[in-house]
Structure 1
Amino acid sequence: MAHTPVTLTNARVVTPDGVHDGRLRVENGRVAALGPDTPSPAAPPTGEVRDLGGAWVVPGLVDTHIHGGAGHAFPDADPEGALATVAFNRRHGVTSLVGGLVAATPDDTLRQVAALAELCDAGELAGIYLEGPFIARSKCGAHDPELLRDPDTAEFDRWLEAGRGHVRMVTVAPELPGALDLIRAAASSGVVAAVGHTEADYERTLAAFDAGATVATHVYNAMRPLNHRDPGPIAAALNDARVTVELIMDNVHVHPGAAALVFSSAGADRVSLVTDAMSATGLGDGEYTLGDLRVRVSGGEARLVENGAIASSTIVLPQAVRNTVEGLGVGVPEAVRSASSVPAAALGLAGAGRIEVGGHADLVVLGRDLTVADVMYRGAWVA
């Protein structure tokens, strides 16, 4: 689809190589040029020209751990509802989503994977993520413990068949029987294995990374805690340069002091900001469901009705960027990359989360307070 060319001037553009101060040109849905704000007076730019007054232009953000929003959940396997979640996030600056599933029966999981694969084929989702069912009962979080089971490579293979190449990541608790075999099978299939919802000790976690796991699922949450004589999976992930560390920066899941430790230990290039958001995101307080579990949201904080455990978040990814900058003192370019190019690279999402000449024009304009002022998707402004 052809779009009117757009030139953004007086912009601070976050690129993979740093910050480009100047102008950005969009043609035919792609970034056509980056240059200084010194155009030739004899050749003014055609199409729309917008002076941003020094505002930030950042890549469309990439949420690789999200379960729903705008009243809908990916585990519902409802295409219209999933599209509503995608549209809601796109309006708020998140232009690439990996649809997240929670623990379900084997038949339900296959049905969910197949439904999301259709949306991946259509280009609406960037992939599929299975957070369960191969996780520890003692660290199940907001997953139904009755639906958890030991890692099974035969079941994993059925997911791959149903997903038609769109399964991007699976979380595994390394201490479970068959876990390392599952991690090896995932790595050999091009699927990212993540360590999470786990009681694994430091050594077993390192064994998982050696077997091919490359992501730590929402670090701190639903995993053996950090202790100076029992460092567990948190220290293993922070110390291992092969590992990208997910972090939920809603100021509920992780205290800012602990979040700052993640950035100082791993560095922004290994921190992937995620929301773990649920269907209540974008709505208000009340009761909702996550999978088959009841969740009560109060003051934006989501907890299971049954036992009060934290159950997902209700933020959209730009809020995580703001919290990181304002609460931790991380620079805007670094925080943005942790919500764009870092998660995209961790899951192999080619071209996502990057502003570069020739790439898709998925752009977000941030105001001085880092709130989303405008969003462009594939070269067109999002209403």
Structure 2
Amino acid sequence: MFMLYGNILTLAGWRHGTLHAQGGRVSQIDARPATPDDNDDVYILPGFVDLHVHGGDGANIMDGADAAVTISRMHARHGTTSLLATTVNAPHERLSVLLQALAQPISHRPHNGARFLGVHLEGPYVNPGRLGGLPNHARPAVIAELEQYMATVPVRIVTLSPEIAGHDDIIEWLAARGVRAQIGHSLGTYEEGVAALDRGAAGFTHLYNAMSPLGHRAPGMVGAALAHAEYSELIPDLIHVHPGAMKVALRAIPKLYCVTDASLATGLPDGEYDKDEGRVITKCMGGVRLADGTLAGSALTMDQALRNLVSIGLTLDDASHRLSRNPADYLGVADRGRIGTGAWADWVVLDRQLQVQQVFVEGEQVYAA
């Protein structure tokens, strides 16, 4: 059993006092209602839940189990306590081998690392005309493939383009199995987006990026999201999306949540790095781009995402919800992304400048500044 003292963001709001954990879960909250500005103690927030992570610290999730361990540990140092291993477009044979390799770090949390909650398949079932930074291995979805992948690892999210023939049925099939079908990398119309939501699509992948934009006569996928979505991803690195557009989405989508879309260059100095299939990415001025200037993931961490959200005017508790509770709720995970009795002891401790001081995953301290 152990405890922490400070300003605690609980399910019931801010409390000031002591947080107790036993057996990896919150056992007691001995604290009074408080406004955190009234004292100088640290902030204790729910650990961040990142549903879109490709890499970090030079490791690419497409390289398998060892890379996944490195990624888990790197993001844990920045307050992420659970995450999804996010793949990219690849041939079926490569994805099959990769998912078999990822089964181990998913089933056994890496030491000093974040917990993998499963896999996010970002493609390959996307529109080849809207690849963004994805490799050119897009193809229509096939149920037999998905069944094989889902038998290997917990597939939690599948990003696909609803305008591709047959994908309307795939969306219904995924929704019936509790998998979040997510609209992304799409040239579809507003009407196709609304129809996909009606069939069971649950959200949108990195809103605004790699999808048909909002026009006042052709609202596109962005318009479908802003008008109808309950959940959507957004990358708050202040590069992928202008702060003004971020505020539009935050106002329009009730449970908008934020992801990093972190690449292997996250945590590394500026420079050029091998991404995959001979492609080179350049990290410079906080962004990550292909040779033609296309954004290729990000260099974002979740603690920086928190600071960015606060910098554009969100309260600390609202910013925290966008990084923890909302993504956990999206997956239907009721015991992560929040601090309450019985929830996992996944916590990030921040100083008054919102710099990470300690991180706990399932009651284990995995990082201390």
Q: How does the TM-score come out when normalised to structure 2?
A: 0.92
What do residues 14-63 of structure 1 show as CA deviations (whole Å, max 9, x unaligned)?
1233222322122332211112369xxxxxxxxxxxxx943211011000
Equivalent residue for 1:100, pick from 58, 76, 86: 86
SS for the counterpart of 2:116 is coil
User: What is the match of residue 294 of structure 2?
Assistant: 309
User: Is 2:145 the counterpart of 1:155?
Assistant: yes
What do residues 176-201 of structure 1 show as CA deviations (whole Å, max 9, x unaligned)?
11111111111112211000100111
Amino acid at match of 2:23: N
After TM superposition, the structure 1 = structure 2 runs for residues 68-107 of structure 1, keeping only pairs within 5 Å, are 68-77=55-64, 79-107=65-93
**1:134–1:173 CA contact under 8 A, matched in 2:** yes
User: What is the match of residue 8 of structure 1?
Assistant: 4
**1:103–1:291 CA contact under 8 A, matched in 2:** no
SS for the counterpart of 1:353 is coil
SS for the counterpart of 1:315 is coil
After TM superposition, the structure 1 = structure 2 runs for residues 315-334 of structure 1, keeping only pairs within 5 Å, are 315-327=300-312, 329-334=313-318
Equivalent residue for 2:262, pick from 267, 277, 286: 277
Structure 1 runs (4+) greater than 6 angstroms displaced = none
Q: Which region of structure 1 is more displaced relative to structure 2, 115-124 or 258-267?
A: 115-124
SS for the counterpart of 1:357 is coil
Equivalent residue for 1:132, pick from 123, 139, 159: 123
**2:15–2:32 CA contact under 8 A, matched in 1:** no
User: What is the match of residue 175 of structure 1?
Assistant: 163
Per the TM alignment, residue 96 of structure 1 is displaced from its structure 2 partner at its CA by 0.2
Structure (1 or 2) with the larger CA radius of gyration: 1
User: What is the match of residue 49 of structure 1?
Assistant: none
**1:117–1:128 CA contact under 8 A, matched in 2:** no
**1:56–1:367 CA contact under 8 A, matched in 2:** yes
What do residues 278-317 of structure 1 show as CA deviations (whole Å, max 9, x unaligned)?
1111111122233323211112311012x21011000111
What do residues 45-100 of structure 1 show as CA deviations (whole Å, max 9, x unaligned)?
xxxxxxx94321101100000101011011111x1221111011112110101000
Equivalent residue for 1:287, pick from 256, 272, 281: 272
Distance 1:30 1:154 in 2: 38
What do residues 193-233 of structure 1 show as CA deviations (whole Å, max 9, x unaligned)?
00010011111001111111101100000000111111111
SS for the counterpart of 2:18 is strand
User: Is 2:328 the counterpart of 1:344?
Assistant: yes
Distance 1:372 1:216 in 2: 29
Amino acid at match of 1:87: R
- Among all aligned residue pairs of Structure 1 and Structure 2, give the percentage whose two residues are the same amino acid: 37
User: Is 2:340 the counterpart of 1:356?
Assistant: yes
User: What is the match of residue 266 of structure 1?
Assistant: 253
Distance 1:374 1:240 in 2: 38
**1:294–1:304 CA contact under 8 A, matched in 2:** yes
**1:102–1:291 CA contact under 8 A, matched in 2:** no
SS for the counterpart of 2:354 is coil
**1:361–1:378 CA contact under 8 A, matched in 2:** yes
SS for the counterpart of 1:109 is helix
Q: Which region of structure 1 is more displaced relative to structure 2, 22-31 or 167-176?
A: 22-31
User: What is the match of residue 34 of structure 1?
Assistant: 29
SS for the counterpart of 2:296 is coil
**2:213–2:223 CA contact under 8 A, matched in 1:** no
Alignment gaps of 5+ in structure 1:
39-51
Amino acid at match of 2:259: V
Per the TM alignment, residue 272 of structure 1 is displaced from its structure 2 partner at its CA by 1.0
Per the TM alignment, residue 249 of structure 1 is displaced from its structure 2 partner at its CA by 0.3
Distance 2:32 2:326 in 1: 29
**1:60–1:93 CA contact under 8 A, matched in 2:** yes
SS for the counterpart of 2:268 is coil
Distance 1:158 1:99 in 2: 17
Per the TM alignment, residue 238 of structure 1 is displaced from its structure 2 partner at its CA by 2.0
User: Is 2:189 the counterpart of 1:201?
Assistant: yes
Aligned length: 356
Distance 1:180 1:215 in 2: 14
Distance 1:194 1:125 in 2: 19
Amino acid at match of 1:159: Y
Per the TM alignment, residue 239 of structure 1 is displaced from its structure 2 partner at its CA by 2.1
User: Is 2:102 the counterpart of 1:116?
Assistant: yes
**2:46–2:348 CA contact under 8 A, matched in 1:** yes
Amino acid at match of 2:242: H
User: What is the match of residue 226 of structure 2?
Assistant: 238
